[in-house]
Structure 1
Amino acid sequence: MGAASHVQQVEPPAGLSARDQEILDFENRHWTYAGSKEQGIKDLFDLSSTRYYQLLNQLIDNEAALAYKPLLIKRLRRDRSRRQRARSMRRLGMQS
């Protein structure tokens, strides 16, 4: 019996696909992998970094994702808000 047989399969929360759940799990632990995050995205999801971040951005606004990984989603929402404010201030010619 291999190690994988001891892993309990968990149904994704309602409103999240298995891939959505995998993306959130990856985003929550990406720094634990050797190599670049971009390579991990390609290897695990067969997605470009651009597409991965598009999907992640959609998940940030998904209430099921918030229920599944509340700390991660709240952090990602804060980070996104900070980036949006910084872009707005640059457009207005202000320093952040």
Structure 2
Amino acid sequence: MSETPPEPVVEQPLSERERRILDGHDRLAALAAGPRERHIRERLGMSPTQYAQILNALLESEKALEYAPVTINRLRRVRDENRRKYW
């Protein structure tokens, strides 16, 4: 009985919403918490929790890295520094 090799994982292209999240992250991060949450709800149509979940998933995405390498690499560094500091 021969095993078939696993199919390679093909990552889907970034959605319009994911590109908007990456494009606006720097401006959004500069806002205070209240205006930031309001912006996420009104302009992106999602909760701040959903925004954070999508952004965290994008940190692991090669497509996101290709699309916004400076943003993704900076956020990965911050995440890694926080892990070292608090874990």
- The structure showing larger relative contact order (alpha-carbon pairs under 8 Å, at least 6 residues apart) is 2
Q: Deviations over 1:4-43 (max 9, x none)?
A: xxxxxxxxxx6201111011111133237xx721111011
Instruction: Specify the alignment match of 1:27 in structure 2.
Output: 25
Instruction: Specify the alignment match of 1:49 in structure 2.
Output: 48
Q: Which runs of 5+ in 2 are unaligned?
A: 1-11
**Identity, % of aligned pairs?**
40
Q: Distance in 1 between matches of 2:73 and 2:56?
A: 12
Report how far residue 83 of structure 1 moved.
1.2
RMSD: 1.7
Q: Which runs of 5+ in 1 are unaligned?
A: 1-13, 89-96
Residues paired across the two proteins, number:
73
Q: Deviations over 1:34-53 (max 9, x none)?
A: x7211110111221111100
* Structure-2-length-normalised TM-score: 0.75
Q: Match for 1:40: what amino acid? A: H
Runs (4+) of structure 1 exceeding 3 A deviation are: none
Residues 53-92 of structure 1 aligned to structure 2 (within 5 Å):
53-88=52-87
